[in-house]
């Protein structure tokens, strides 16, 4: 006997660990003899009636796979749904279609896996009495209410590996190598990867930098016989009194701004001011691709289990969370709308400074 039927969707940018979560939610649900409906491409699947029943074979063997077997969209906001009208895009409110779909399918719960944009949309449906449980996803790790989001650890591993690889060229050619990483308005990826890769300079949005300080660090290293430097810069970093560099606008997206390009700006400045040959790499979407790390697989498995537990207990409007190493849940409304940024006194900032890394506001060797 099937005693519950739940829906599941993945929305926003893809992220390693999504399939681990889908697998965990589904297998936990199957264990309780529940039915699972997978919606395609995030909320688009609810608006356009695109969904399929997930069975055990669908979610077997996907733990290690990157991406999402359900597909995703970062533009399908049902409250502002983009529809192409000739050459223009017009926006419609299709929220009623979503509510109707949930009712028509007799869903007892809808599991929404996403970042701030997705969970903000989910919260609007919570207010419309849709029984939602949220699962926090983003490589940026900038969601409030949880110490970590899945996907972050994999992005940090990939970025750390990139720094290690740049190290060899930097040292062999006596160059400055600049690596630009993602993270939007938060510097978590830059901080964790920069620290792990032993970067000489880490620049994050939370600590506006001074180009002269960055160059002083590079010069000071050269004076100490270290003829190369590694600079890790978050895409959202900006100079003191300056602006973030916007790469493009994605009009239909919940957050239309796409940052990127600051690495090249800084690289040119360093080369001009120090005279040291400087090269720039932009890591981009490579950070989001491929197999999740063991930590992200396990966090996905834990989050999925916890989400089903919340549904079993009828606790809707909550997002599963990791706090101080333990699984918990927080109201979705308290997690969205305020970014979790790197505190200036974060232990890793302090420890990294203490071993000589500059954050562009000081120079130490």
Q: Mind telling me the catalytic residues? A: 140
State which of residues 8, 9, 11, 13 lies at the interface with ligand F6P (CB under 6 A): 13
Cβ distance to ligand F6P smaller for residue 27 or 184: 184
For ligand F6P, what does the binding mask look like between residues 169 and 188, x meaning CB under 6 A? -------------xxx----
Where does residue 331 rank: exposed (0-12), middle (13-18), buried (19+ CB within 10 A)?
middle
* DSSP element (H, E) containing 262: helix 262-274
Of 50, 167, 258, 339, which one interacts with ligand F6P (CB under 6 A)? Answer: 258
- 140-145-147 Cα angle (round to 5): 60
Contact 263, 233 (CB under 8 A): yes
Q: How far is the CB of 264 from ligand F6P (least distance, A)?
A: 16
Residue 66 or 317 with smaller CB distance to ligand F6P: 66
**Residue 17 Cβ, how far from ligand F6P at the closest point, in Å?**
13
Query: Minimum distance from CB of 138 to ligand F6P (Å)?
Result: 5
Q: Is 79 in contact with 95 (CB distance < 8 Å)?
A: yes
Q: Residues 355, 217: contact at Cβ < 8 Å?
A: no
Sheet containing 326-331: order of strands: 51-54, 35-39, 5-10, 109-114, 132-136, 318-323, 326-331
Q: Which is nearer to ligand F6P, 138 or 301 (CB)?
A: 138
State how far Cα 187 lies from the chain centre: 11
Residue 73 found at the interface with ligand F6P (CB under 6 A): no
Residue among 249 and 364 whose Cβ is closer to ligand F6P: 249
Give exposure, 86-102, as e/b (b: 16+ Cβ within 10 Å).
eeeeeeeebbebbbebb
Task: Give me the least distance between CB of 71 and ligand F6P, in Å please.
Answer: 14
Strands of 156-209, DSSP E = 176-181, 201-203
Could you tell me the smallest distance in angstroms from the CB atom of residue 60 to ligand F6P?
Answer: 28
Q: Write out the two tokens for 335.
A: 């997690």
In terms of CB distance, is 139 or 311 closer to ligand F6P? 139
340 binds ligand F6P (CB under 6 A): no
Token match 């970042």: residue?
Answer: 115
Instruction: For residue 355, count other CB atoms closer than 10 A to its CB.
Output: 9
Phi then psi dihedrals of residue 191, to 5 deg: -65, -55
Binding mask 274-313 for ligand F6P (x = CB under 6 A): --------------x-------------------------
Among 19, 24, 73, 74, binds ligand F6P (CB under 6 A): 74
Which residues 102-141 are close enough to bind ligand F6P by CB under 6 A?
Answer: 115, 138-140
Sign of CA dihedral 220, 224, 230, 234: negative
CB of 149 to ligand F6P, least distance (A): 10
Interacting residues toward ligand F6P by CB under 6 A: 13, 74, 115, 138-140, 182-184, 235, 250, 258-259, 288
């Amino acid at each position: 006997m099937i005693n519950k039927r739940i829906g599941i969707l993945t929305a926003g940018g893809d992220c390693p660990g999504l399939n681990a979560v889908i697998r965990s939610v589904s297998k936990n649900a199957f264990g309780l003899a529940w039915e699972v409906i997978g919606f395609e491409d995030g909320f688009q699947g609810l608006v356009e009636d695109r969904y399929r029943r997930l069975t055990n074979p669908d979610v077997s063997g996907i733990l290690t796979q990157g991406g999402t077997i359900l597909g995703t969209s970062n533009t399908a906001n049902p409250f502002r749904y983009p529809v192409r009208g000739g050459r223009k895009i017009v926006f419609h409110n299709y929220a009623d279609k979503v509510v109707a779909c949930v009712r028509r399918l007799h869903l007892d719960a809808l599991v929404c896996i996403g970042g701030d944009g997705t969970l903000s949309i989910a919260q609007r449906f919570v207010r419309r009495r849709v029984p939602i449980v949220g699962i926090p996803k983003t490589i940026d790790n900038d969601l409030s209410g949880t110490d970590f989001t899945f996907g972050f650890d994999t992005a940090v591993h990939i970025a750390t590996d990139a720094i290690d690889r740049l190290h060899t060229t930097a040292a062999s050619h006596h160059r400055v190598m600049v690596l630009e990483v993602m993270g939007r308005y938060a510097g978590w990826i830059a901080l964790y990867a920069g620290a792990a890769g032993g970067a000489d300079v880490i620049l994050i949005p939370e600590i506006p930098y001074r180009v002269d300080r960055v160059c002083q660090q590079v010069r000071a290293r050269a004076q100490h016989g270290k003829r190369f430097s590694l600079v890790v810069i978050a895409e959202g970093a900006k100079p003191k009194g300056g602006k973030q560099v916007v790469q493009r606008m994605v009009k239909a997206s919940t957050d239309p701004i796409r940052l990127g390009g600051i690495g090249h700006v800084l690289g040119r400045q360093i080369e001009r001011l120090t005279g040291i040959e400087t090269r720039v790499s932009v890591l981009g979407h490579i950070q989001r691709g491929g197999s999740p790390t063991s930590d992200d697989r396990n966090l996905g498995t834990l989050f999925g289990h916890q989400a089903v537990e919340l549904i079993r207990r009828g606790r809707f409007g909550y997002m599963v969370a990791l706090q101080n190493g333990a699984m918990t849940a927080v109201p979705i409304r308290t997690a969205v709308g305020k970014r979790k940024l790197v505190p200036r006194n974060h232990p890793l900032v302090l420890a990294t400074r203490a071993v000589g890394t500059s954050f562009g506001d000081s120079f130490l060797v």
